[in-house]
Amino acid sequence: MNKLLNVFILSSIAVYVVLWSGGVISSALWKESPDGTEWVAPTFLYLATMLILLQVNARNRLIFIGIGLFGFGAEVLGESTGFPFGTYSYGSALGPSLFDVPIALVSAWIVVTVFAANVLIWANVAKGWWPIVGPITMVVIDFLLEPVATGPMDAWSWLSIGVYYGVPISNFIGWFVVSLPIFAVLSAAKFRDRGGVVVSTSVIAFFLIISLINLLWWPLIIAGTSFAMLFFWRRHTSSS
């Protein structure tokens, strides 16, 4: 049984790497996904989520599934009412939808939350600060994702236009608000699981590479500045 599971995991990793590499190459060559590849983005997210959930313990697996469903519920509310993110609509890039929201958004919330949580762990942020610093980190991550998601990927489009690549400020406020209970739960659970750090980081890196290919400079500047600040904070807390 363990041997079959290992083969399955290794095969999944291989497929994930192929999809990751294919996405970068197709973006570099054609600036957009070729026709007939609409299945790639959701499959990429599903595989990333599966690999992450296989690397965390059973309790944290349930927590992240709950977070994914909570985030999906917030997206359903946002898409139908405009609250709390603003007025937007999804395209077909992320695959099948439920209540007009791609099911892959469950995976997206899990992946982004795992990455943000690992950032806080790496930066030695005290658990008592997670309910505030966590949502801020999620907003910063969204600054990295939105230009690609609404640009080259065409995953969704905003009906209310903002100054940051057309994204309204309400979206970032919404991300902060929705992330508050998420990181309150992770703080209360004393989350310390580093499982999924490589996969979640690779997803964020994918978006940054696509930003570079498409000359979207602000996500790269924000990522570099944020990393520098966290690096110096980590050194400060480690030497204290």
Query: Range of 98's domain?
Result: 2-239
Are the C-beta atoms of 116 and 110 separated by less than 8 Å?
A: no
> So what's the pLDDT on residue 240?
64
Exposure string of 156-171, with b = 16+ CB inside 10 Å and e = fewer, is bebeeeeebbebbebb
Q: How many domains does the chain have?
A: 1
> So what's the pLDDT on residue 133?
97
80: its two tokens: 């139908």
> So what's the pLDDT on residue 1?
60
pTM: 0.96
Q: For the chain, what percent of residues have pLDDT higher than 90?
A: 89
CA–CA gap between residue 38 and residue 193 (Å, rounded): 33
> So what's the pLDDT on residue 3?
86
Instruction: Extract the residue ranges of the chain whose pLDDT is less than 50.
Output: none
Are the C-beta atoms of 188 and 180 separated by less than 8 Å?
A: no
> So what's the pLDDT on residue 126?
94
List, in sequence order, every residue forming a beta bridge with 97; answer none if it has no partner: 102
- H or E element, residue 21: helix 2-30
| Averaged pLDDT score across all residues of the chain | 94
For the purposes of burial, counting CB atoms within 10 Å of the CB of 44, is it exposed (0-12), middle (13-18) or buried (19 or more)? buried
